[in-house]
Amino acid sequence: MTTQTFHKDTWELFKSLELSKQLTTGETLAKLGHEHPEIVALCADLGYPTRLADFGEKFPDRFFDFGLAEKNMVTAAAGLASTGKKAYVSTYASFLGVLCAEQIRTAVAYPNLNVRLIGTHTGIAMGFYGTSHHATEDIAITRSMANMTVISPADGVALSEMIEESVKTYEGPIYFRVSRGRETPIYENNSSNIQNKIGKANVVREGSDITIIACGIEVKQALEAAELLERENISTRVIDMHTIKPIDQEIIFNSAKNTGAILTVEEHNVQGGLGSAVAEVLMESGNFCKFKRHGIYDEYSIIGKPYYLYHHYKLDGEGIADEAKTLLNQS
């Protein structure tokens, strides 16, 4: 059995069990494919786990599988983009945002090309696959590259909306940081009708005592923390900072002023990630408040089931609530 056959069979099982409820990158691109013939998609032996295969099944002549040659894939995507294509590249984040850093910098970001890099299975989501498969440095790496937009959507709905924006109106290279695709959606059937726009953060819960700024799957965990804190009469504002670069400075200033305390939460090393980006905005503007970065504290992640890893690193609702209370209790 080939790797692709295994992944395809596994994906069909997930669908039959309704374990995959979210829109995928491939589905979104497939819907746009006829209207936008400039879209091409590239994968590295992981078309089914990353779901780019959904696009490939409809447009096989615009879908390219490079096997286990991620660096070649990124360089080829740059070549296609230089001819006017919009190239969507996807593989596991550890093999894209980390392994391919030099190719992304030199072939994609430096010439400012329309290559959209979609790193999946980010952070510690790969669990027992081990530290080599955990991507806890990719935000810091890509955020430091000139011309690069960095986005970490909270769920498949948000990802789909911003993929569509990237096709229709947005120019330049983008690094999308997404998880496994089976997370609980927070924007599905949302009554507030929040639209996810690149560069504009979302207030997903209002509060007055503390602000939790999160990205990716940690937005859902931050909302769970806010529910726990409410039981202790702590009013918590939760912000989905899906776009880490360019970051929404106005909403950070507003939160510092109105709540007086900000806790950032990310499934990433606290060095150079979302927390560092928020801290830079606060310090350079002089909008000071109680502040703490919460994530993985400058270490290589351990190995285990994802559920236990999130609990170990206090990246679940209970752990985030504890961190928020610790921050509030600081003098």
Say whether 70 is catalytic: yes
CA–CA dist 37, 39 (Å, integer)? 5
Question: Can you say how many angstroms the Cα of residue 72 is from the centroid of all Cα atoms in its chain?
Answer: 23
**What is the three-class DSSP state of 63?**
strand
Among 35, 70, 171, 266, the one annotated catalytic: 70
Alpha-carbon distance values, 111 to 63, 80, 85, 105, 150 (Å): 23, 13, 14, 9, 17
Crossing angle of helices 25-32 and 156-168, in 10° steps, is: 40
Residue 224: partners with Cβ closer than 8 Å, 6 or more residues away: 316, 317, 320
- Closest C-alpha among 330, 205, 219 to residue 264: 219
- 233 Cβ contact partners less than 8 Å away, ≥ 6 residues apart: none
Other Cβ atoms less than 10 A from the Cβ of 165: the count is: 16
Just list the catalytic residues: 70
